[in-house]
């Protein structure tokens, strides 16, 4: 078992280090049948905000030679509607559920954390920090979540300025750091009226950015678990992230491209161990 919330009074144990990142399977309902959730360590559901969000206008995805750019605008039903619809599913999924929060206001984060504290099946929270968040904003957000609820807290950080942000999140009370949010990118939407779509970039070639940030944060020897997130497409990349200091891995776009890969990776890492 792997503890992904060291220092927390109840911890957060997972059976293996392969996790699904937020968005990879929606709130647990949006995945191919070949994606075996019960074979994984945990599912990150969401994103969730206190109020509902309509999300970005269509089209939201553009393919590029390196992969794709996707901008959803954090579309979701809002906390209360999400719980009405998906909380019964989380309780019987057979895999630990971590809910990702995407607000940046401390008061909204605190209200979400308090409401989620006693939801069956939810074992931890993940806060996705905005790309431009300051260390002060990160400290305030972590403190708001930690004081409002009892669940372990992961903080998902951008790859930029990862060390400074990691130290701020840890000092404020984070139990794990997720390195990192998918890098921002842009791609030209080639139609009758070309325009530039800016959003999260996915692709095999982006993994070195994650690995670099992960290695930098690991060198700080902070008293938290480290989770490598995003643009992991191969067993070799997964092993590289673990060798660089990650305790677990979050898979995202590969779960859409090859739904059998997460289960296969979990089996491969178990065999190696």
> pLDDT confidence of 191, banded at 50, 70, 90?
low
DSSP 219: T
CATH of the domain at 86: 3.20.20.70
pLDDT the model gives residue 192: 55
Residue 187 has pLDDT above 70, yes or no: yes
Higher pLDDT, 230 or 148: 148
Alpha carbons within 13 angstroms on the beta-carbon side of residue 111 total: 13
Residue 170 has pLDDT above 90, yes or no: yes
pLDDT tens digits, 88-111? 999 888 899 999 999 999 999 999
- Report field, pTM of the whole predicted structure over 0.85: yes
Residues facing residue 61 across a β-bridge: 70
pLDDT the model gives residue 72: 73
Q: Structurally, how many domains does the chain consist of?
A: 1
pLDDT tens digits, 117-153? 999 999 999 999 998 999 999 999 999 999 998 999 9
pLDDT the model gives residue 71: 75
Q: Where are the beta strands (DSSP E) in the chain?
A: 2-3, 13-14, 18-20, 42-48, 61-64, 67-70, 97-101, 122-128, 153-158, 176-181, 184-189, 195-202, 225-229, 248-251
Per-residue pLDDT, averaged over 150-176, amounts to: 95
The parent domain of residue 177 ranges over 2-272
Higher pLDDT, 45 or 253: 45
pLDDT the model gives residue 244: 97
> pLDDT confidence of 59, banded at 50, 70, 90?
confident
DSSP 37: G
pLDDT the model gives residue 193: 62
> pLDDT confidence of 75, banded at 50, 70, 90?
confident
pLDDT the model gives residue 160: 87
| Burial class, 19, CB count within 10 angstroms (exposed 0-12 / middle 13-18 / buried 19+) | buried
| Burial class, 72, CB count within 10 angstroms (exposed 0-12 / middle 13-18 / buried 19+) | middle
Of 71, 53, 63, 72, nearest in space to 198 by CA: 71
């Amino acid at each position: 078992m792997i503890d992904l919330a060291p220092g927390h009074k109840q911890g957060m144990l997972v059976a293996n280090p392969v996790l699904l990142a937020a968005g990879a399977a929606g709130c647990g309902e949006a995945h191919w049948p070949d994606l075996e959730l019960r074979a994984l360590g945990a599912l990150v559901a969401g994103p969730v905000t206190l109020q509902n969000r309509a999300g970005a206008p269509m089209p939201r995805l553009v393919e590029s030679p390196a992969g794709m750019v996707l901008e959803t605008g954090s579309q979701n039903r809002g906390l209360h509607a999400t719980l009405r619809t998906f909380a019964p599913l989380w309780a019987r999924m057979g895999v630990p559920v971590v809910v990702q929060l995407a607000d940046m206001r401390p008061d909204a984060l605190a209200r979400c954390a308090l409401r989620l504290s006693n939801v069956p099946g939810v074992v931890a929270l993940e806060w996705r920090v905005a790309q431009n968040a300051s260390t002060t904003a990160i400290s305030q957000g972590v403190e708001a979540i930690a004081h409002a609820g009892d669940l372990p807290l992961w903080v998902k950080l951008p790859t930029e300025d990862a060390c400074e942000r990691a130290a701020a999140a840890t000092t404020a009370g984070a139990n794990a750091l997720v390195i990192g949010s998918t890098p921002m990118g842009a791609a030209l939407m080639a139609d009758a009226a070309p325009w530039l779509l800016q959003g999260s970039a996915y692709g095999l070639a982006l993994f070195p950015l994650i690995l670099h940030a992960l290695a930098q944060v690991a060198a700080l020897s902070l008293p938290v678990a480290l989770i490598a997130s995003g643009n992991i497409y191969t067993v070799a990349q997964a092993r590289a992230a673990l060798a660089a200091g990650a305790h677990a891995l979050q898979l995202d776009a590969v779960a859409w491209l090859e739904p059998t890969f997460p289960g296969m990776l979990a089996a491969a890492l178990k065999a190696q161990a």
